[in-house]
Each structure stands twice: as structure tokens, then as C-alpha cells.
Amino acid sequence: MMAPILAKKPKNPRAPLPGETLLGHTLAVVECFEALFGAEDHPTRLGRRWLRFFKLPPEDYKRFWTNCRIACLLHDIGKANSGFLDMLLGKDKQVVRHEHLSGAMLWLPEFQKWLDALPLVDKRVVLSAVVCHHLKLSSKKAFAQESSDTYRNNFIVEWGGVEHLLTEMATRLSLPTPRTRSVQETWSFSNGQADLREAVAHTLEQFKRTLRRDEPLHRLLQAVRAALIVADSAGSGLTREGKSLGEWIGKAFSENELRDAQRIETEIILPRIRQIECRSNKTFHWEDFQDSAETLPERTLLLAACGSGKTLAAWRWIKGRLRERPAARVIFLYPTRGTATEGLKDYVSWAPEGSLVHSTSAFELDGMFSSTEDERSGVDFTVEDRLFALGYWHKRVFSATIHQFLGFMRYTYRSLCLLPLLVDCVLVVDEVHSLDEEFFSSLKSFLKHFDLPVLCMTATLPAPRRRDMEECGLTVFPEDLGQFEDLQRKAAAPRYRCKLLVDKEEAEGLALDAQRQGLRVLWVVNTVDRCQELAKKFECLCYHSRFRLIDRKARHDAVVSAFKDKPGPFLALTTQVCEMSLDLDADVLITELAPVTSLIQRLGRCNRHLKRERGMVYFYAPEDPLPYTTADLDGAQDFIQALDGHDASQTRLDELLAQFGPRAVEVERQSPFLHSGPWAEPKPEKDERTVQAILDGDLDEYCALRRAKKPVDGLVLPVPWYPLHLTRQHPRLANYLRLAETARYSPEYGFTKTSPWRCYG
């Protein structure tokens, strides 16, 4: 009897579990694919929405199903070699990536003949899906010239095992059996396999040219490849955790659990209104524009001033969309972890199946609703950690950062595994003005290429970006403020009295005067160093990005609480983090010169709710413009001078934004998912300004948390990558982390790169 070919590292090499063998894993992937997308002639709801999302007609379903099922069958046959087995058993390193070997094997004459005989199969689509299902292939050169010289040149392909495996799988799946070689053969890069790899690379490069001319075929490839990745992830993860595949997936995508207008009303909107009334001791009344939001088109750009109630308007839009066409999920995307967390607290957490999705969500959720007086205290918003992205499949309403769901445009693997949730949802993208050029370009590409109801919203948007949104098919709302008395009144109200100061010293005097008058002051600077210096000088609250997460959370809560609960006096020093993640209302705003869009966002933190006649706003130019460039600050000085000595309303700010805001049209950047053709490799996301670090004083606690398999997020802080001596590598840390000096850290002021806090007088 032939020994089973392994696909996963076995718990017991002598008696591997079925899910650890290549046959067991392959059948699990096929089962997951069919549970997700349906049978050959009966697509599931997800299968239908998958095609609609990729803009494929319903009649293409059988073609999609056939090609993806064959790709599921063949995606891991390259694991049937001695090198892969040695790697699983810890004896040696892998000579060549198994999916690349799978692709080379598919181009043998025996497989070619078999694929050609299968109805509806496009062997180029199958080939591309197979060689790229781990997102490790970016070009013809990378495939054809992959070298194994570092290790050994020869490894054994178990052809007898392959023959047995394919016969067994084909029989179980009611497919004809492909005839392969019947004896073991040694393959090396020098005696034949290199030629096959070159042939495959050449074929895919020709296919790339074909895809440029054939958009429907390109969409089919994208749909098949993404579906294979999802099915493979489910087949591995669910089997590893002992889940019943069909039952678990069926529950996750049950058509009996659709979100409709009534559920949104009762589960989210009404509880949020009760919370607002409880906090304000006033009866809540809908604004006219919020009522109108419920009837807006499925592609809308909502522009409304800070504090006008646009988030509730967005939920009314969601309610209207779901009344017209129920969806499996509702997803609300934000630009930062802080804003996503606040979105969960205020809205999504009222839904029993709500969830928070960002890189530190487990830490944020820990103890968030611990008070027994909070009706949400018994609700579990967490997911099974060991299922990774799949853990979210049983959730229905999401508050998330934008890259968690739209990261699939960059071939982010985690985001691709969330794609089954995205394709059947109603989607809101908040604060679109704040997206960097690359992610705004990704958003535009997403809107153009995929079919989904989407609401984008923000307070202000530069004219070039507004035109981009309209070109993507979004209807601007409101087109004319005059049609809504409530919005027009708030927009025209003189919120601010503005003044341009001589320098920082004048700002310091005004900050002291304001505190003596019992006022709450928000002071925004552009660098962490200046924020720390001023906070130390005034001995006040300091909030920026360079804290351990556990301390940053405490800083955030302290600043928000102080502005909400304290009548004054109060002073807080912050950086750009205040522009989105802080829901506060200051009496006085002091700010350094910054880009026009940033200045408008900062202004939104002053007299936010029109509770006073005017909010005082003071501008001054710092000695050092960093981190901004001259191009970033283009128009900012003229913007400030136009406001100097005058009252300002939101309407006036919009006028000045149109006059002095960004004018350049942003170049649309290529998205790997849309533009890489038959190749696929994630685009790395790097922050070139910081590295993630652990304080040397926290090292033992970090190691203890890792041993206990608990999150270490609370101990992680971003540290400037320069000067280089601030951090160092350490063998006890994960590869992505560095070690930093505790002497340079203060829970009150954060991490300093200038001199240790113990040296401050």
C-alpha cells in the first residue's frame, strides 16, 4: 500500500490525519468551494453575488465554477515531491515553491491533453490561478529564473503517488482520470524542469497580452483566482480547527440571516438614538437631510460639515439600500484604527453580530463594555484567533479600517479572505479626503471595476477629488445646500473667529490667557517632538502617535473625556492624530501651518456643535515646516490670510478650499489585483518613517504574553527609524519588532528621540 502524500505538517507523521494528506486537503478545498459558491447548476447566493461583484453575467457561472473547481483539484499537486516532504518533517528546506512546481507539472503533455478535453476549461486561467494562489509570483522572470542553487539541485516527484492521487480525486469528483507518468522520475533545474518552467512563463506572458484585449476573460481570471484562494484558506483553516466544513460555511452565508431595513432600524439606529438622548437629556429629532439620505442612489458622495450628523445619515442610507435590496452584511470603513474603534462603540456594537476589524482590534475590544450597566456587556465581539480572517465570516456588521477590506486591491492575503463578506454587503467609506494618494487611487479603481452599493462621505473634499468621485459614478449629496434649511443654517453659521499670530511665543501667551478665562484649549502641532516639548513646558495632556498602544488608548480616552466632561480650564497638545480620531469640541484652537485640508479638519474640533457664539482659532507658522513639503503647503498661507481677522463658517471654508486647496489631478496608480494580469504578488505596505518596537523594560512581559498566546499589541509602539541607534534587533522578539530603551519613554509624554526623559530638568 502506497504511503499517503502529505500536504500539511502532520501532528503524527506515522498516522497523519485525513486533512493533513494531499488527498484529504484537496477534497476539503473542493468541498469548501462548493459550499461557498454552489453546485454546477445551482449557485449559492454568494456565488451569484460573486459574479455580480466582478461584473460577470449570470450565464458565466458554469464557466467560473468549472475552472475554479479544476484549479481546486490541481492547486497543490506540486507538493507530491520529496523536497516538500523533507521540509514538512524538518529535514531540509523546500527546493522550489510547491505551487510553482504545480504549474510546471500542469504543462506536461499528459495534463495538457486532459485539460483540453474538459468542457469550458481555459487551461490558462487554471494555470494562473494555481501558480499564484499563494501570491508569490510577480513576473515571468521571477518564475522562470527561480534558483535553487542554495540547496540541492535534485528532488523526486512521486509520479506513482500523483497517478494514484489524481485517480482517487477524479473518481470522487466524477471527472475523467488524467493519465500521467507511472514511474518516479528525478527532476532538476538542469534536466528538463527549467524548460517546462520557461514554457509556462512564456504562456502566461502571452496570456497577459490577451487579457489586456479581453476584459471579460480578465474578470473571469480575477474571480477564479480569488475564489481559489478563499477556498484553500477555508479548507486549511476549518479543517485544522475541526470544523464541519459544509455546516460551518452554510451558517456563515445563510440566506436566512440577511440584513434588511428593519434590522438596521431596531438593532443600530434606535439604540444609538436612545444613547444620544440619554447623554444630552434632549429629545432627538431627525434633520431633513438625514431623512433624505434614505432615498439616495446606491452610489453616493455625502458632503456634510463636522458635527452635522452625517454618520447617522449614512445609517439611514444603509437602511434605504437594504429596503430596496437586502444584503448579507453591512461594512463601515474608516481611515484609522481610532476612528474604526469609535465607529464600533457608537454604532456597530449595538448589533449582536457586530465586529471590529483592524490590526489591534483584539486589544481594543478587551474590556471595552465591561460595565454591567452597559447592555452590550454580555455581547462577544471577538472572533476565533486561530481562524484568522475566517473568524469574521460569522459576523454581519463591521466597523473596520479601509485597508482590511479593500486591501485585496494590493493582493493582501487577509483582505482576499474577507472578500466573501465584501461582495454581498452595503458599504460606507468615511473620511475619503484623508486617504493618501495611493489608497485614494485604489478606492477609485474599486469603484470603477466592481459592482457594490457604496456611500463615500466626508466634511470637505478638494475639487479634483470631488470630480474623481463623480467620474466613478457617485452622485453628490446635497448638490445644493439651499434645499436643506438645517444643513444651510449650520454651514452658514459663523463658527470661528480667526487670527494669524506672529510666532509660537504669542501662541503660548494666548494659551495661558485662555486657561485663565476657564476655556478648553486644543493646540495642534505637526511633529511629535514639538508636541512633547510644549506639553512638558505646560505640564498638560499630550497625545500623539508615539505611545505604547496601551498608553495611547488611555491618552485618547483622557483627552476626549476632558473635553466632554470638564467645563474648563483645560489644555491638550496633539499632533495630526486629532484630525480624525478625536471627537471633541474645544473653545479655543491653536494650530501650526499645515495643508489646507488638514487645517479644515482641525477647525472641525473647535465649536464643533455650535454651543457657543464663536470658537477662537489661532494660526502660526512653525520654524520648521516638516513633515510637510513646500508642495504640501501650497495655498495654506493664502488660506490663513483670507481668514485672518474674520469670522468663518463652513460655507466660507468650502469657498476657500476651492480657491486655495489642492489643484493637481492625482495620477491613478496601478492596482496589482487589476493590472498584474496572470501574475500576483502583494504590494508591501511600509511606513518608512517608523519601526514597531518593544521597550526593553517590557521584554519579559512581552515574552510571557507570547508564551500564553495572548495579544502583545498593548506593548507595541512606533519608534522613528532615524536616528538608527534608537532601536536594535533582539533574538527574543518577532522579526517585525525592534527593541527600544525604556529610559526614552514616558507614559505621559511618549517616546522621545532627542534625549531620555530622565535627563529633563
Strand pairing partners for 156?
A: 186
pLDDT, position 465: 92
Strands 299-303 and 454-458: parallel
Residue 288 inside a domain? The answer is: yes
pTM score: 0.92
Can you read off the three cell numbers belonging to residue 685?
505596505
User: Strand, helix or coil at 352?
Assistant: coil
240 plus 270 within the same structural domain: no
- The low-confidence residues of the chain, meaning pLDDT below 70, are 1-2, 141-156, 180-194, 565-566, 581, 684-688, 757-761
Can you read off the three cell numbers belonging to residue 125?
486561467
Contact 589, 615 (CB under 8 A): yes
pLDDT, position 667: 77
Q: What is the CATH number of the domain that holds 563?
A: 3.40.50.300
Can you read off the three cell numbers belonging to residue 128?
494562473
Instruction: Indicate the residue among 598, 617, 648 that finishes a domain.
Output: 648
Which candidate, 470, 480, 429, places its Cα nearest to that of 453? 429
166 plus 217 within the same structural domain: yes
35 vs 246: CA distance, rounded Å: 6
314 plus 444 within the same structural domain: yes
- 688's enclosing H/E stretch is none
Q: Report the interhelical angle of 437-449 vs 463-471 (nearest 10°).
A: 20
Domain count, the chain: 4
DSSP strands (E only) in 509-583: 520-524, 541-543, 570-574
For residue 391, the number of C-alpha atoms closer than 13 Å in the C-beta half-sphere is 16
626 plus 503 within the same structural domain: yes
Instruction: Indicate the residue among 247, 267, 287 that finishes a domain.
Output: 247
44 plus 81 within the same structural domain: yes
pLDDT tens sequence across 639-678: 999 999 999 998 899 899 989 988 777 777 889 999 999 9
pLDDT, position 368: 87
699 plus 718 within the same structural domain: yes
User: Would you give the DSSP letter of residue 133?
Assistant: T
Residue 663 inside a domain? The answer is: no
Residue 655 inside a domain? The answer is: no
Residue 673 inside a domain? The answer is: no
User: Strand, helix or coil at 214?
Assistant: coil
599 vs 534: CA distance, rounded Å: 20
Residue 89 inside a domain? The answer is: yes
Residue 720 inside a domain? The answer is: yes
Domain with 190, as residue range(s), is 22-247
What distances in angstroms separate CA 7 from CA 106, 158, 193, one per listed residue? 18, 13, 22
Q: What is the CATH number of the domain that holds 162?
A: 1.10.3210.30
240 plus 364 within the same structural domain: no
Cite the DSSP H helix spans in 154-214: 159-172, 193-213
Residue whose grid cell is 437631510: 289
Q: What is the 3-state secondary structure (H, E, C) of 33-62?
A: HHHHHEECCEECHHHHHHHHHCCCCHHHHH
59 plus 180 within the same structural domain: yes
Instruction: Indicate the residue among 471, 488, 505 that finishes a domain.
Output: 488
Strand pairing partners for 523?
A: 573, 590
pLDDT tens sequence across 357-389: 998 898 888 888 888 888 898 888 989 888 999
291 vs 310: CA distance, rounded Å: 11
Residue whose grid cell is 460569522: 394
Residue 668 inside a domain? The answer is: no
303 plus 430 within the same structural domain: yes
198 plus 116 within the same structural domain: yes
201 vs 140: CA distance, rounded Å: 5
Cβ atoms within 10 Å, residue 665 = 11
CA dihedral 165, 167, 170, 172 (to 10 degrees): -80
110 plus 130 within the same structural domain: yes
270 plus 237 within the same structural domain: no
Residue 40 inside a domain? The answer is: yes
User: How would you class 583 by CB atoms within 10 Å of its CB: exposed for 0-12, middle for 13-18, buried for 19 or more?
Assistant: middle
pLDDT, position 437: 87
pLDDT, position 632: 86
